[in-house]
Each structure stands twice: as C-alpha cells, then as structure tokens.
Amino acid sequence: PTPPEGETRPVFTLLLPPPNVTGSLHMGHMFEQTQMDVMVRWHRMRGFITLWLPGTDHAGIATQLMVERQLAKEGKKRRDLGREKFIERVWEWKRQYGGTITDQMKRLGASVDWDREYFTMDENLSRAVREVFVRLYEEGLIYRGKYIVNWCPRCETAISDLEVKHEEVAGKLWEIRYPVIGTNEFITVATTRPETMLGDTAVAVNENDERYKHFHGKKVLLPLMNREIPIITDELAQPEFGTGAVKVTPAHDPNDFQAGKRHNLAQIDIMDLNARMNQNAGPYAGLDRYEARKQVLTDLQEQGFLVREKDHTLALGKCDRCGTVVEPRLSEQWFLKIKPLADRAIEAVETGEITIVPENYKQIYLNWLRNIYDWCISRQLFWGHRIPAWTCSDCNEVIVARETPKKCKCGSEKLEQVADVLDTWFSSGLLPFTTLGWPEKTRDLNVFYPNLLMITGFDILFFWLARMVMFGCHFMQGHHQDPAIKKASGEGDKKNDSVPFRHVYIHALVRDADRQKMSKTKGNVVDPLDIIQRFGTDATRFTLAAMAAPGTDIAFNESRTEGYRAFANKIWNAARFMFMNVDRLQTNLRPGRTAEGGSSCKGIADFRAKTLEDRWILSRFNRVTKEVNNALESFRFHEAANRIYDFFWGEFCDWYLELIKPRLAEGADKTAAETACSNLVNLFDAYLRLLHPVMPFITEEIWQALHEGQTAQKSIALAAYPQPDEEQYDLPAETNMAILQDLIVSVRNLRAELKVEPKEKIPIEVFSHDAETGNLIQDGREAIERLANVKTISAVTESRARQVPSRSTARFDVHVIYERKIDVTAECERLKKELEKIEKGIASSQRQLGNEQFLAKAPANVVEGLRKQRQDLGVLQEKAQSKLAELGCG
C-alpha cells in the first residue's frame, strides 16, 4: 500500500528487471533475484518501507518468434493471419504460457509485491508509452526518415545497433574490375559482399590518390548490369585499404549511404525484406542474397571481371534474437534523437546523482553514451506498442497523436495508423515512472520515485539501464520526492530527484562450471528449479549469495550448493538441540515472552552473560553483525554470507553449544540451566534474523516454532535486523577464549598423534607462562576436560616444553601423560617443519625490526605487534629446538 502523507520512515524502492514473458527461469534470474531479495529483506527488517515491483516484459521480437514457431507448425506465416488475428494469438499464447516465469519466481522466495504486478502491454502503461512518444515528437526529438538500418531478413524488421551481435568469421574479400569508359583501363574495387554491386551507383577514389587521378570525372560500366556509373572522389575511399577504390552502394551500406548523400547518387534497392533480390537486380531477381552472391561471382569470373579472391576475416553482424545475418537496408523508420537525452544521462552519473557499483561500469556507461548514435525505435513487427502516428492517404500528412485522430487537416478521413511498433526497450526504459502512475502526479511517484536502488546485469547496461536514465531524467525533470521520506532514506543532500534510481549495482553473470555462458543452444543451462528440487531453495540462494563477489562472474558449481544444504541441515539440528532443551526445562523461554519481546530488539534480547563463553559469543555476535551489515551496505553479498556461515558453524556450533552443554545437562543447577537456555534461545532468535535475508525459508520455519505465535510480528521478515552494539564487544573474553581453544586443540592434536583410543581420558600437565593464563585454565578446567577428553589437569610450575609429547604456545606448554611411545621419526619430521616455519617468521620479523626505516615509518601498532611476535617466536623456537635435541633427531 502507498504510505500516506506525513510518512517519515525511509523508503526502499526496487524495480525488478522484468523478465520476458516468453522466458523460463534460469540461474541468472535466480542469481539476480537472490541478490535483490537479500537487499529488500535487509532493508525491510531495518525499518524501510519497501516496494519491490514485479512485472513481465512483452518482449516484442522474442514473443513474436514463439508464436511464429507455433504457426509454422500449422504451415502458416504471420502475414497469412494478418495483424489482428496474429495479435490475438499472441495474447492467447501469453495467457497460456506467460505465467510460467512468475510462477517459478514464487518458488525462489522473492518477496516482491505481487499486488502491483504489471505487464508492459497493460493499458495504463501503453497509454504512458503513447504520451512519451507524442511529447518527444512534439519536442522534435523523434523524427522519421529513410535511412540505412540494420535489417533482419528473418524477423522482417529493423533492429537497433545494440541488437546486432558481431561475430568474427573467416570470409573473403573479392576484387572486381570495372571497365573505365573511354579507356582500355579498369578500376579495381574490393568487396566482401559482391552481390551488392548490382546496386552500385558510383565508384569512389580518394581525391589525393595519385593512382586514380586520371580517372577523375570519368565513368565506369558496371559489369553484369551494364549501367554507366560515375567515378567520384570521396573520403570514403582510403588509399591504404585494398585497392584504394571502392564501389558505392547507397542502398545497402551505411557508409555508402552517407557518400551517396554527399554526391546525390541514386539509391538502388536490390533486395526485398527477406534479403532476396528484387527486380532491380535484373537477371538475379528472385535469388536469395547468398545464391545471388554465388551467381554474381560465377558470372564475373566468366566474363573476366573477377581479379582475385583473398581470405579476409570480418565481423559479421547477426540478429541478436535469431542469429540471422543482418543486412543493411534502406527503409523508412522512426528515430530518437539521442544526444540531448544522453548528455543529461552522462551528467547524472558524472555528478554522482547516480552511483554505480562496481565503479568500472561507470566508465563503460559513460563511454557508450558519449559515442551514441540516434536510436531506431520502430520495428516492423505485429507485437508491441503501436506507434501513435497516422498517415493521410490523400495528402500524405503524418499525424502523431495521443488518441486516434478523426480526420486530417486536409479534411480527409482516410487516415491509417503507421504499421510499425516500438522497440521493446522503448517501453521498458520508462518503467521506473510509468509503473508508478505517470503521467498522473500520483502519491506513488511522490513516495517511491526515484528508486533507491537498481540491480541488474551488465548485459542490459545499454539496452535498459542507460535508457531508463535518459528517459527518467527527461520526463521526471522537476520532480521532487516527498522530502520527509527522502531525508529518512538518507538522501537528503542529493538535490535532483529526476533520476530513476540513486544507486546502481551491476551484478556479475552466472556461467556454467566451465565458465561458459549458459545458453539453450549450448545445452549447458543449469535449471535452478532442478537445483532447488535437489538441494532446497535456501541452499541454492546461499550458494549464489556466497559466490556473488562484485565484478566477478560466477561459475555455478553444484558442490558448493551441496555444502550449503549441509549448512541448512546443521542449522536445523542445532535448532533441534535448542528445542530439546527448552522442552525439557519446561519453562517460558520463548523469546516472544521475554520482556523486550525478542524480535523487535535490534540485538540479542535479554542476554545475560554469566560465563566466559557467554561474554565471548555475545562479543562475537556483535562483531559479526557489524561485518554483515557493512558487507551488505557495499553489496558484498559473498562476504555477508561467509561471515554468517562461519559464525554459526565455526563458533556457535563448534564451541558455544559444546561449552554450554554442561550447564544445560540433566541434574545441573536449575537456575543456571534456565539462564543458559534463555541465552541460547535469544541468541538463536537473533541469529535467525541475521541469516533471514539469505535463507528465508528455514529461518522462518524455526522462528515460527520458536515464537509459537507469541509475538506481535507475524513473520521473521518483519522482525528487526540485528545491529551491532559496540558496547558488547569484549576483547578480553575473545582473547581468553582463544587461549582455551588453543589448549583444547593442542591436546586433541597430541591425542591424534599418539593414537590415543578415542574413549580413553588422559591426564595432562600445563605450564602457564603467566598467572592470568593459569587462572584462566583453572577456571576453564571443566571445559578442557570435556572437549579435549582429559582426565586430569595438573598445573605445573616448570615448563614442560622440552618434554615429548607436548605442545607450546606463547601462553602455555601442555604435556600429555601417556605411556605409548611416539613415532620418533614422524615427530622429528613434524618438529622440523614447525621449526622451519618459526624460523622463517623470525627471519622476516628480524629483518624488519632491524630496519631503521621500518621503525621510523611503520605505524606504532604494527611495530609493536611485530616485536611481540618476534618475542613469542623466540620462545617457541627455543622450545622446538630443545624438543628436537631430546628426541635426538638428525
């Protein structure tokens, strides 16, 4: 719902890049949507009013292609049906299959606002498209004209420069000689498309090219066609390239078209809309362009005009949609004068009104806009937004209007709407404002425009993103977002609200495990629904988030997902452990019943830090919370995911749960058990909230069970996202915990080495280097015994470092008492390795500490740290050496 006037909460608006109706969900969608959903949920939980607006795109060519294929099975073409019937079929198709992708989306857990779902051909959006077109036309930014455009002979339509994909192919360059009239000489031209010679209307040479000076003003006889055409001088011909003379075909080449204009040459169109030769091609009429090429070459050869053929690699332009080789074609089209719009779009990014992350895309964006050509916006398709223009059959007047005009100004009523439709991207470029009710001045626009964020892939940086900026800045000029909301959203200082979005995050592309682009034709498409089926949505989302390092394409790898399925399982089991204890203790420990109400709290509610492990985990949780929030702030999804993962598995499960077990155990002190359990519950609750944006399903399920409807919020999605409380950082607790962990690991290590029976408890002796450590170990006695499987701990007053088997750190030496002999060779080996490492460390720290420059220039804490390290290493070195001596290692 639209927030009313007076709303002072921040607003987060995000527009879903609308998938094509024809589409089915692929990994790229899921990747993109996972990142968006993480952002949306994160903002929502932090108290933003969020709008994530979904919709689908009518996708002109793509959709038409689908229906055409259907028709082809019935042996029909679209023109057999005619526009109206055809469009009916498309709508029919849309009704039947168009929902596929949105249905699939629902399984990703994407928390979009389905109530607002739109389709780009909806009436209100179509009306906005007409409005935009008419305004641009009235402003003189849209014009119509006969130009060379990229033409797809299969789709039978013009396409924009962006829709042409160039592909390097090994082709040929043919040299053809044209007889110069009135001489015995020939002039030789080179071409990669010999069939176009049929439409030649001149031969160009460079004015300064000495070789051809004597031909100036002469004519040649065009072979095969026996047409006289002039030799012109034009910069089109560059002396260095080929023969220095070039054939000019104004109707079939953009450069030649320009040259033709300069010299007033005739334009002879020799092809039809399917790139077959027409009557103008004389005897070649009816041939397909490649058949014609073959025939032309044969004939030239026979008649002695073909000089030679050379290998030549060329960049062949192909239709992005269907792969057919594009043919430059002269035709009447509609264009958008792009420069004025581009200038403003450049400014918006240059001045920081829009920020782009990662930053290198900023340059790419700017370069493109700086070198932009007018945009051909008309398409000769049936499916799409009809161009709101009519021509009068009596006076040829063109009328551009919002609604169908009744009659022409000449009085005639014979008006016919222009057959063309608009490029799909024309309408998608308008979505940031048209989906919010434009051209009406709606409250929605007031509140939700500009979007706070735009997340999309670089593959549509130009197609879509740049156009949204151009259109947004143009049509929303003078727009002001509700100031209270703007301020609350943290954008109070940005003056201009005409931009469609304030921040852009460009995500990477998902590739297959071999880094290949996924495509249907390659057959390497990984179906996200299949992955979800096998590993679960949460695990799949987590995989994508964890791999989403900005700027780096990701190679989707199932083994990672397998690992994150295990993670989900781990969470599940930890939750079981928690519930087990809650149930057993039979107390009101649900977080929903605590004083602070659990989830409305931005940290851990009611956490009572009684013990070292409590203080430690509280401190760690807050630090991790800080790291996660920071990471999300800068779109480092992978970092957020990894912190969340490591904390839970490596700290919470591996240590905290193990450490509190005695307190929870049967027969333990009831009050202490309840405190421990309550802490556990509240910590778990907070953790679930931290994790929720990435793994919405499992967190919701456990959270619901945890709260049992006892809380004001209906869903964890509306609970508060954890925020760090730096007061709860506890460095001493973290340091001490690390010492205990070291000790426990050392003992486990020794046990493994000595191959102590797993069940056998053994006595250990610990020498502490300082009283503090001694006390710590004394206090941690129970934990050490349990987690290291130790029988007794004796504090000794003399270092046992020399004795084998033992382990040493800078704080303690630990020696296990166990009669089995160690493997001397192996132990020597290990000690030597260890010593080597230590000495390497000593050498490097020694080198630096001996360097006056270092002491003078490095920051104090670095120097201090290094000194400390040097000292510790010295101690360890000595210990290792004496052990080696004791063992008598060679």
Partner RNA sequence: GGGCGGUUAGCUCAGCUGGUUAGAGCGCCUGCCUUACAAGCAGGAGGUCGCAGGUUCGAGUCCUGCACUGCCCACCA
Residues 452-471 that bind RNA (CB under 7 A): 459, 462
* Residue among 221 and 566 whose Cβ is closer to RNA: 566
- Could you say which residues in the range 370-399 bind RNA, by CB under 7 A? 371, 373
Give the end-to-end CA distance of the chain in Å, rounded to a whole number: 79
- Closest to 451 in 3D by CA, of 885, 22, 39: 39
Q: What is the nearest approach in angstroms of RNA to the Cβ of residue 7?
A: 34
If we measure between CA atoms, which residue out of 193, 194, 177 comes closest to residue 185? 177
> What is the x/- site pattern for RNA, positions 570-609, by CB under 7 A?
x--xx-xx--x-----------------------------
Closer Cβ to RNA, 455 or 787, answer by number: 787
825 binds RNA (CB under 7 A): no
Binding mask 711-750 for RNA (x = CB under 7 A): ----------------------------------x--xx-
The footprint of RNA on this chain (CB under 7 A) covers a number of residues equal to 99
Q: Is it true that the peptide bond before 254 is cis, omega within 30 degrees of 0?
A: no
Sheet order of strands, 355-357 included: 49-53, 11-15, 451-457, 501-507, 355-357
Strands 202-205 and 245-248, bridge-based pairing = antiparallel
Q: State how far the Cα of 467 lies from the Cα of 511, in Å rounded to an integer.
A: 26
668 touching RNA, by CB under 7 A: no
**Cβ at position 745, least distance to RNA in Å:** 4
CA distances (Å), 598 to each of 592, 602, 684, 702, 792, in order?
5, 9, 10, 14, 41
Q: Which candidate, 544, 545, 680, places its Cα nearest to that of 611? A: 680
Which helix (H) or strand (E) segment holds residue 704: the answer is helix 696-707
Neighbouring residues of 765: CB distance < 8 A, sequence distance ≥ 6:
793, 794, 795, 796, 800, 814, 815, 816, 817
Q: Please tell me whether residue 833 binds RNA under the rule CB under 7 A.
A: yes
Q: Is the dihedral of CA 253, 256, 261, 266 positive or negative?
A: negative
Which residues, numbered 294-313, are part of the site for RNA (CB under 7 A)?
none
Can you tell me which residue has the tokens 């709303």? 7
Kindly tell me which residue out of 273, 285, 399, 555 binds RNA, with binding defined by CB under 7 A: 555
- Options 9, 106, 166, 339; binder of RNA; rule CB under 7 A: 166
200 phi, psi to nearest 5 deg: -60, 140
Instruction: Please report whether residue 552 would count as binding RNA according to CB under 7 A.
Output: yes
For residue 439, cis peptide bond before it (omega within 30 degrees of 0) = yes
- Say if residues 460 and 17 touch (Cβ distance below 8 Å): yes
Give min distance, CB of 582 to RNA, in A.
Answer: 12
Interface residue with RNA among 51, 158, 159, 190 (CB under 7 A) is 190
Pairing of β 415-417 and β 389-392:
antiparallel
In three-state form (DSSP H/G/I as H, E/B as E, the rest C), the secondary structure along 503-522 is: EEEEECCEECCCCCECCCCC
Q: Is 322 in the site for RNA (CB under 7 A)?
A: no
Report the nearest approach of RNA to the CB of residue 318 (Å): 11
Whether the bond between 3 and the residue before it is cis, its omega within 30 degrees of 0, is no
Can residue 854 be called a binding residue for RNA (CB under 7 A)? yes
List the one residue from 27, 51, 187, 245 that touches RNA (CB under 7 A): 245
Q: How far is the CB of 123 from RNA (least distance, A)?
A: 33
Tell me the closest approach of the beta carbon of residue 506 to RNA, in angstroms. Answer: 11
| Residue nearer to RNA on the CB measure, 351 or 519 | 519
Closest by Cα among 549, 557, 662, 540 to 610: 662
Ramachandran category for residue 242: left, alpha or beta (phi over 0 → left; psi -120 to 50 → alpha): left
Placement of tokens 């920051």 in the chain: 859
Applying CB under 7 A, among 653, 822, 828, 887 the residue interacting with RNA is 653
Q: How does 625-657 read in b/e, with b if 16+ C-beta sit within 10 Å?
A: bbbbbebbeebbbbbbbbbbbebbeebbbebbb
Q: Is there binding between residue 649 and RNA (CB under 7 A)?
A: yes
Nearer to RNA, 77 or 370 (CB): 370
Instruction: Candidates 298, 865, 885, 886: give the one binding RNA (CB under 7 A).
Output: 865
What is the nearest approach in angstroms of RNA to the Cβ of residue 32? Answer: 17
Question: Cis peptide before 805, with omega less than 30 degrees from 0?
Answer: yes
Please identify, among the stretches 525-533, 650-658, 689-697, 725-733, the one whose residues bind RNA according to the rule CB under 7 A.
650-658
> Among residues 368, 697, 729, 818, which is the contact residue for RNA, using CB under 7 A?
368
Which run of H or of E encompasses 49?
strand 49-53
> At closest approach, how far in Å is the CB of 611 from RNA?
17
Residue 341 sits at the vertex; the CA angle it makes with 338 and 347, to the nearest 5 degrees, is 130
**Site membership for RNA, residue 818 (CB under 7 A):** no
If one asks whether residue 228 binds RNA (CB under 7 A), the answer comes out as no
Which is nearer to RNA, 414 or 515 (by Cβ)? 515
Quick check: 524 binds RNA (CB under 7 A)? no
Given 124, 183, 208, 363, the residue binding RNA (CB under 7 A): 363
Structure tokens at 712: 């004001």
* Closer by beta carbon to RNA, 49 or else 469: 469
- Minimum gap (Å) between residue 854 Cβ and RNA: 3
Which of 303, 519, 569, 588 is close enough to bind RNA by CB under 7 A?
Answer: 569
Between 141 and 842, whose beta carbon lies closer to RNA?
Answer: 842
With binding defined as CB under 7 A, does residue 515 bind RNA? yes
State in angstroms the smallest separation of the CB of 522 from RNA: 11
Looking at the Cβ atoms of 214 and 370, the one nearer to RNA is: 370
193 belongs to the binding site for RNA (CB under 7 A): yes
Query: Least CB distance from residue 331 to RNA, whole Å?
Result: 16
Q: Is residue 168 within 8 Å of residue 313, measured between CB atoms?
A: yes
Instruction: Give the interface segment with RNA, choosing from 100-108, 422-430, 497-505, 868-876 (CB under 7 A).
Output: 868-876
Query: In terms of CB distance, is 9 or 833 closer to RNA?
Result: 833
Q: How far is the CB of 771 from RNA (least distance, A)?
A: 23
The interface region with RNA, picked from 74-82, 443-451, 510-518, 613-621 by CB under 7 A, is 510-518
CB of 631 to RNA, least distance (A): 8
Which residue from 295, 417, 869, 881 is in contact with RNA, where contact means CB under 7 A? 869
Closest CA to 105 of 114, 115, 96: 114
In the three-class reduction of DSSP (H, G, I as helix; E, B as strand; rest coil), residue 732 is classed as helix
